[in-house]
Amino acid sequence: MGKIYCMMGKSSTGKDTLYKMLLEDGALSLKKIIPYTTRPMRRGETDGVEYYFCGEKELSGLLEQGKVIELRAYDTVQGVWKYFTVDDHQIQDLRQNYLLIGTLEAYGKLRDYFGKERVVPIYIEVEDGIRLERAIGRERQQREPHYEEMCRRFLADAADFSEEKLLDAQITMRFVNDDLKQTEENIRDYILSQND
Ligand SMILES: Nc1ncnc2c1ncn2[C@@H]1O[C@H](COP(=O)(O)OP(=O)(O)OP(=O)(O)O)[C@@H](O)[C@H]1O
């Protein structure tokens, strides 16, 4: 049976970078699971590429059908935005291996929904000082850097990914992302070792 690999880690640990590298690796033939959101589409975004954009009504329908695997709601200045994963056409091939980036909570829900055998955590870790330097480096390249938001996330991560929560979620394996190429290789080998 195919696996669902759930990549997790604090901000600026390199999830997005590694996610793209792993998806491009033909030997792994991983398929991405595109999440859903109720937030308005931004310029440059395409429905079904970054997210499936949908309204509250559509979300209610999916909830009624029991198709929403996990959901997070964020109270923003523009209203409440919901992000969620749906058991839809994307996840229907049982032989296929899938990859997604998730929170620790999302991982727990996916595992409850699909079963422990099918959902595999990929936890990425970087020493805090290096991670902060990378976060600043990335932010500095933005046209309008948001250092305050970056700091807020940095602090929130400590609580969201506390050792206690990691233990609760039974995350024992950690991929330390010092050297990017090496980390990609380590994850690649791990994924290949998981295939039946
Ligand atoms: N091994 C590495 N060595 C040096 N820089 C790295 C490494 N891995 C990633 N980076 C850089 O660190 C920054 C953060 O990486 P990335 O955006 O992939 O992290 P992320 O975990 O997806 O972050 P977030 O959750 O905040 O979106 C990027 O500028 C990326 O190029």
Domain with residue 196: its CATH number is 3.40.50.300
Does residue 113 share a domain with residue 66?
Answer: no
Into how many domains does the chain fold?
A: 2
Q: Is the CB of 177 under 6 A from ligand 1?
A: yes
Q: Is the CB of 138 under 6 A from ligand 1?
A: yes
From 61, 20, 19, select the one nearest 38 (Cα to Cα): 61
Instruction: Write out pLDDT tens, residues 16-67.
Output: 999 999 999 999 999 999 999 999 998 899 999 999 999 999 999 999 999 9
Domain holding 46, by residue range, is 34-94
Does residue 72 share a domain with residue 155?
Answer: no
Does residue 185 share a domain with residue 114?
Answer: yes
> Which of 69, 94, 119 is a domain's end point?
94
Instruction: Write out pLDDT tens, residues 77-99.
Output: 888 999 999 999 999 888 999 99
Tokens 């991670």 sit on residue: 131
Does residue 112 share a domain with residue 167?
Answer: yes
Does residue 57 share a domain with residue 46?
Answer: yes
Taking the C-alpha atoms of residue 182 and residue 187, their distance in angstroms, rounded to an integer, is 9
Ligand 1 centroid distance, CA of 102 (Å): 15
